[in-house]
Amino acid sequence: MIVKLGKVERVNLRAAWPNEASHFTPWLASEEGLELLQDTLDMDLEVEATEKFVGPFKADILAKRTDTTDDHWVLIENQLEKTDHRHLGQLLTYAAGLDAATIVWVAETFSDEHRAALDWLNDITSEKFEFFGLEIELWQIGNSDMAPQLNIVAEPNEWVREVAQGAAATQVSDLKEQQHRYWQSVRSILLETKSPVRPRKARPRHYANYAIGRSGTWISACVNSSRKSVWVEFAFRGPPGKLWFDELASQREQIETAIGQPLDWQRLDGKKMCRIVLQFEGADPTNEVDWARQHAWVVEKLELFQRVFRPHAMAFSDFEGADGDAEEPEDA
């Protein structure tokens, strides 16, 4: 028997969103639209406002990343038509007015010139800025519901940026290449198992951070090649950090019972960051033959740390004067 299949047809964007400001922007800021954006950009977002003033201009959507350890704004500018110079100028104005930002330009189609402009901006600006170009499409099979799709046509080259930032030579060191492959394998497991820990892009460095839902707190997986060590940690920073640490320390017995073993509690007086560490004894991150065992342990403990520490992080007391500067995990 021959199975009857439907034909996928592209739909005019105005069929779903007759007006950009009244229909498309509210949809993109909704739970459904935001989920599509997050999946496309591989980042966690929380909408702060729509039609938000940035200086004398209004950004269509202002969001905040919740998967980074610092305050990072995301500005989204929309067009239900082909890109134009006016919107490019607005993007540059927004970037100039923010200290750290991801700029997302959503349009029906991108001209070659505007795509090249975003690529150029990603090449010449510091790592604090990211420029994305996304084309929006609508598809339908017969009389089914219309389905949106976002396609990335321009994005920052994270690998190149990491190398340019950390390498003195023109080639990536063997260690950096190994670190990149290490975290890429961890990311693959998180994706394949549909882990509750949201996978992050693999980068050539000694740690990988994962958001747990509250600004200023995160969980990390870390390696130290020279000391032959692997560990996971729950970390937080800023002036409230020491008070948060003391709140957790008062529940140390309960927390260690939930984890199933003792933890290394590091208040780190004199520093902005505090952390609570679980070491993987006998693990050498340079021994690639042992990676399968290490990666299974890392994923298991990341998920355990998320289950145990996320409720505590969400219940932390609110204090004024939180510091927005992030610190990367130390090479413990």
Asked if residue 146 is part of any domain, the answer here is: yes
Q: Same domain for 152 and 178? A: no
C-beta atoms surrounding 161 within 10 Å: 17
The confidence score (pLDDT) of residue 100 equals 58
Provide block-wise average pLDDT over 10 residues at a time, the chain (332 residues): 79 93 92 88 82 75 76 87 91 74 93 91 83 92 88 75 46 77 95 90 86 83 91 86 91 96 92 91 94 97 96 80 49 56
Q: What is the dihedral of CA 115, 120, 203, 194, to 10 degrees?
A: -10
Q: Same domain for 146 and 21? A: yes
- The residue type of 14 is R
- Report the distance separating Cα 239 and Cα 320, nearest Å: 8
The confidence score (pLDDT) of residue 167 equals 43
The confidence score (pLDDT) of residue 238 equals 67
Q: Same domain for 130 and 178? A: no
Q: Same domain for 190 and 304? A: yes
Q: Same domain for 50 and 178? A: no
Asked if residue 162 is part of any domain, the answer here is: no
Q: Same domain for 233 and 294? A: yes
Find the CATH number of the domain harbouring 217. 3.30.1460
Q: Give me the number of domains the chain comprises.
A: 2
The answer to whether the CB of 24 falls within 8 A of the CB of 106 is no
Domain stop point among 156, 182, 207 = 156
Cβ-proximal residues to 316 (8 Å cutoff; 6+ apart), any chain: 214, 217, 236, 240, 244, 247
Q: Same domain for 60 and 196? A: no
The confidence score (pLDDT) of residue 204 equals 83
For 118, the domain range is 8-156
Domain stop point among 156, 177, 211 = 156
- Report the distance separating Cα 184 and Cα 188, nearest Å: 6
Asked if residue 267 is part of any domain, the answer here is: yes
Q: Same domain for 254 and 178? A: yes
The confidence score (pLDDT) of residue 330 equals 62
Q: Same domain for 29 and 105? A: yes
Q: Same domain for 229 and 178? A: yes
Residue 206: name the closest of 183, 234, 237 by CA: 183
The confidence score (pLDDT) of residue 321 equals 41
Is the entire prediction scored with pTM above 0.85? no
Asked if residue 331 is part of any domain, the answer here is: no
Asked if residue 34 is part of any domain, the answer here is: yes
